[in-house]
C-alpha cells in the first residue's frame, strides 16, 4: 500500500504546529497518549484540591472543546486490590504502594482519576495495555465496575463473567463511531478469562469489518511497539495496513512513551486513513525531553456518501517541563527543541483552505 497525500488540504508551515480551525460540520476527535501516574505525580494529586486535574490543567479547555476526547488509562483503577489480584481493605485516596501505586512497574490508581478525567472533558478511555493485569483478573473486574459506576466509556477490556465485545459503538452528535482498543502485550501476565483484547487476535480484523458496516467510522487505538523508539517497527506497520484494509479510518497508538512518526494510508474505498503510531506520554514523570513532549491530536471528520472521512489533521503540542508536575502548552511561535521535536514526529498539519 502506498502512502498518499490529500490534495484538497493545505499543508501548514513547519512552525505552524497548531489546531486547525473547527469546521461547521462533522465532528472533532481529540486524543492524548499514555496516563502513567508515577509516584511524584500521584503525591501531587493527593496534596491538591484539584486532585489529578492539577497535572493536566492547561489542556482542559482543549479536551472539553472536542466532540469526542480519548485517553489511554494505563493502569487498573481497582479499589481494595493489591498486587497479584488479592482483595484487601481499601485505604482511601493515598499512595501506599500496596493498593495504590505508580512505580515498580506495577500500577493501580484511585478511581477518582476517572472522575477527574471526565470532568476535564475526556469522554472515553482505552484500557487494553501492558499494565491492565497489574492487579490480576479481579483488578480488571473492579476497574470495569468503577468505569461503569462513574459513567466513563471505555474499550479494550471486560469482566470475567462477560462475553460482550471489548469494543464499543459510541454516538457522537448524529454519528456512530466504532472504537476498538487492543494491546500487544500484558507484561507476561496471563489472561485466563479473555478479559483483554490482544492486537494479534484475528478478532481485531473481524471487529473492524463488523463495525465498518454498522458505523460511520472506525477508530483503532493499539498499545504496541517498542518503548522509547522514535519510529514504528515492522509489526506496527503491518498491522496498520491490515486494519486500514479491513476498514479502520484512523489508528492512534500508544505505549512507546515517546512520540512516533505518523503516515497517511489509502483505504480500499479510496479515502484517506491516518496512522499516528504513538502519541507518547499524556501523564508521566519521565526525564528525557522525548518522554516529556507530547501532543493532543485532532482529527476533524466530515460526512460523505460512504460515511465519515478525515477532512483535517492537526495537533496541539505540550511539554511537562523538567522538574514540574504541570504541563505547559507549546505555542506555534516557539523556537525551542521541544516544538521542533513534536513537528518532526507528527508532521505537518493539514487544514482545509
pLDDT in tens, 168-178: 999 999 999 99
Q: What is the pLDDT of residues 306-351, one digit of tens each?
A: 899 999 999 999 999 999 999 999 988 888 999 999 999 999 999 9
Answer whether residue 54 shows pLDDT above 80: yes
Buried b (16+ CB within 10 A) or exposed e, 14-33: eeebbbbeeeeebbbbbbbb
- Return the percentage of the chain with pLDDT > 70, whole number: 95
Q: Which residues pair with 233 in a beta bridge?
A: none
Question: For residue 251, how many other CB atoms are within 10 A of its CB?
Answer: 26
| Average pLDDT in the chain | 93
pLDDT confidence band for 17 (50 / 70 / 90): low
Domain layout of the chain by residue ranges: 10-351
Taking residues 190-195, report their average pLDDT. Answer: 96
Answer whether residue 197 shows pLDDT above 50: yes
Q: What is the pLDDT of residues 217-242, one digit of tens each?
A: 999 999 999 999 999 999 999 999 99
Taking residues 129-145, report their average pLDDT. Answer: 98
Q: What is the pLDDT of residue 353?
A: 85
Q: What is the pLDDT of residue 11?
A: 40
Q: What is the pLDDT of residue 61?
A: 97
**Cα distance between residue 14 and residue 61, in whole Å:** 25
Taking residues 243-257, report their average pLDDT. Answer: 98
Q: What is the pLDDT of residue 168?
A: 96
Which of the residue ranges 12-21, 203-212, 214-223 would you say has the lowest mean pLDDT? 12-21
Q: What is the pLDDT of residue 282?
A: 98
Q: What is the pLDDT of residue 15?
A: 37
Residue 263 grid cell: 503516515
Taking residues 63-84, report their average pLDDT. Answer: 97
What class is the 10-351 domain? Answer: alpha beta
If you ran DSSP here, which 8-state letter would residue 3 be given? -
Which of the residue ranges 87-101, 270-284, 330-344 would you say has the lowest mean pLDDT? 330-344
Backbone φ and ψ for 22, nearest 5 degrees, come out as -65, 145
Amino acid at each position: 500500500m502506498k502512502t498518499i497525500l490529500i490534495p484538497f488540504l493545505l499543508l501548514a508551515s513547519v512552525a505552524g504546529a497548531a489546531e486547525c480551525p473547527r469546521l461547521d460540520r462533522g465532528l472533532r476527535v481529540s486524543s492524548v497518549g499514555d496516563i502513567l501516574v508515577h509516584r511524584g505525580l500521584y503525591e501531587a494529586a493527593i496534596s491538591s484540591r484539584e486532585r489529578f486535574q492539577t497535572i493536566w490543567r492547561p489542556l482542559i479547555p482543549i479536551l472539553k472543546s472536542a466532540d469526542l476526547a480519548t485517553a489511554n488509562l494505563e493502569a487498573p483503577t481497582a479499589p481494595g486490590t493489591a498486587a497479584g489480584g488479592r482483595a484487601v481493605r481499601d485505604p482511601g485516596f493515598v499512595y501506599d504502594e500496596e493498593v495504590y501505586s505508580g512505580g515498580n512497574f506495577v500500577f493501580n490508581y484511585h478511581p477518582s482519576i476517572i472522575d477527574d478525567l471526565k470532568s476535564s472533558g475526556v469522554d472515553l478511555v482505552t484500557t487494553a495495555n501492558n499494565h491492565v493485569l497489574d492487579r490480576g483478573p479481579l483488578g480488571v473486574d473492579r476497574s470495569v465496575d468503577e468505569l461503569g459506576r462513574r459513567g466513563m466509556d471505555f474499550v479494550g477490556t471486560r469482566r470475567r463473567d462477560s462475553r460482550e465485545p471489548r469494543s464499543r459503538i459510541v454516538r457522537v452528535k448524529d454519528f456512530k463511531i466504532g472504537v476498538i482498543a487492543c494491546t500487544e502485550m500484558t507484561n507476561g501476565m496471563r489472561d485466563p478469562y479473555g478479559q483483554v483484547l490482544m492486537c494479534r487476535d484475528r478478532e481485531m480484523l473481524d471487529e473492524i469489518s463488523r463495525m465498518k458496516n454498522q458505523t460511520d467510522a472506525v477508530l483503532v487505538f493499539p498499545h504496541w511497539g517498542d518503548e522509547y523508539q522514535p519510529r514504528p517497527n515492522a509489526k506496527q506497520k503491518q498491522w496498520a495496513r491490515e486494519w486500514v484494509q479491513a476498514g479502520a479510518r484512523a489508528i492512534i497508538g500508544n505505549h512507546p512513551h515517546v512520540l512516533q512518526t505518523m503516515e497517511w494510508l489509502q483505504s480500499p474505498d479510496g479515502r484517506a486513513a491516518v496512522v499516528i503510531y504513538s502519541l507518547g506520554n499524556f501523564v508521566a514523570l519521565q526525564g528525557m525531553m522525548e518522554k516529556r513532549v507530547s501532543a493532543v491530536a485532532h482529527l476533524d471528520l466530515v460526512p460523505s456518501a460512504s460515511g465519515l472521512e478525515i477532512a483535517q489533521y492537526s495537533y496541539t503540542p505540550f511539554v511537562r517541563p523538567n522538574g514540574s508536575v504541570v504541563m505547559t502548552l507549546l505555542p506555534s511561535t516557539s523556537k525551542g527543541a521541544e516544538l521542533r521535536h513534536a513537528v518532526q514526529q507528527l508532521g505537518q498539519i493539514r487544514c482545509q483552505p
